[in-house]
Structure 1
Amino acid sequence: MNEHVLDIRFSSALKAMLYLAATAEQDPADPPTSSSAQLADILATNPSLVRKLLVPLVHGGLVESTKGRTGGARLARPAHEITLAEIYRCSVGDKPLWACRPDTASCEATANTEEFFSRLNADTEQAVLGVLGGRTLADSLAEVRALGETAPR
């Protein structure tokens, strides 16, 4: 049944990365770190889940993390050098956008849907990565801020 649950890893990772990008602007030469508790507040979740969310971002070279009471996370590179495609790939891994029901070969129309679906998924993912690859974290932070300026109050 878990296969039908919406996957929020990318949106959670992106929200955390936007927060880290905003805090990095405070002192670009020596950006402050954000604790997992601070990020948990931003994401409305618990610090343990945040630490699990950060692991692939650290392994992907997008986030630096230091342990201990004064430790925390910060961007490993400037926000203008990080694409949304990188964040997506790190947070989602090789998981496809969607899964196909197995072929049942019950009729000509459904006999090869698994292969068709696999190809459709690959094409769609390439399109998604193309869009995300054209946007940087810095661009996205500016866009989010602009949306806040035009939002009705």
Structure 2
Amino acid sequence: MNEHMLDIRFSSALKALLYLAATAEQDPADPPTSSSAQLAEVLATNASLVRKLLVPLVHGGLIESTKGRAGGARLAKPAEDITLAEIYRCTVGDKPLWACRPDSAASCDVTAHTAEFFGRLSADTERAVLDVLGSRTLADSLAEVRTLDTPAASPETAR
């Protein structure tokens, strides 16, 4: 992946898991599975890309996937037990939020310590992001997404 391209793995995984959480509500005792083709339609992408996106989520224990004609993906645990931080870590791994400019020759006090400063700033920011994501569950997020469908929240009525 080009380092200058936006990384949409987290937002794509979140959207897929929100969809799986919504479908799980239909039959909590035996939630239905969604095929990679169904998820691809939800994400407006292809099924092959969806299958690649699901791999780290399966390895992270957030979804379970069965193969075959009747197979598909579903949440591996209740949406209340999945934090957005878990989804983020599964999809992004340890990739930092930002990349620091490559070091160049230090020409003054500032340029001699900019990389160290930026590293500290990045670490602080990463902790703050993970704190916010860790305080929200998939269930909380699904409920919040559903409130966005109210007339007061739509752009047409806000004009």
Normalising by the smaller structure, the TM-score range is over 0.9
Alignment: residue pair count: 153
**CA distance in 2: counterparts of 1:54 and 1:149, whole angstroms:** 31
Q: What's the offset of the Cα at 1:133?
A: 0.5
Match of 1:141 in 2: 142
1:53-76 Cα offsets, whole Å, 9 max, x none, are 000000000000001111000000
Q: What's the offset of the Cα at 1:106?
A: 3.0
**CA distance in 1: counterparts of 2:107 and 2:39, whole angstroms:** 50
Question: Structure 1 vs Structure 2: percent identity of aligned residues?
Answer: 82
Structure 1: which 5+ runs fail to align?
A: none
Q: What's the offset of the Cα at 1:2?
A: 1.5
**CA distance in 2: counterparts of 1:25 and 1:66, whole angstroms:** 19
- 1:60-75 matches, within 5 Å, as 60-75=60-75
1:14-69 Cα offsets, whole Å, 9 max, x none, are 00000000000000000000000000000000000000000000000000000111
Runs of 4+ in 1 over 3 A off after TM superposition: none
1:113-146 Cα offsets, whole Å, 9 max, x none, are 2221111111100000000000000000000000
8 A Cα contact 1:61 1:76, kept in partner: yes
RMSD: 1.2
- Mean CA deviation greater in 17-26 or 97-106: 97-106
**CA distance in 2: counterparts of 1:14 and 1:112, whole angstroms:** 37
1:85-131 Cα offsets, whole Å, 9 max, x none, are 00000010010001001221233211222221111111100000000
Match of 1:132 in 2: 133
**CA distance in 2: counterparts of 1:34 and 1:149, whole angstroms:** 27
**CA distance in 2: counterparts of 1:139 and 1:22, whole angstroms:** 12
- 1:64-103 matches, within 5 Å, as 64-103=64-103
* SS of 1:2 mapped into structure 2: coil
Aligned residue identity for 2:37: A
- 1:1-153 matches, within 5 Å, as 2-104=2-104, 105-150=106-151, 151-152=153-154
- Mean CA deviation greater in 105-114 or 136-145: 105-114
TM-score with structure 1 setting the length: 0.96
Structure 2: which 5+ runs fail to align?
A: none
TM-score with structure 2 setting the length: 0.93
Aligned residue identity for 2:96: P
**CA distance in 2: counterparts of 1:118 and 1:102, whole angstroms:** 12
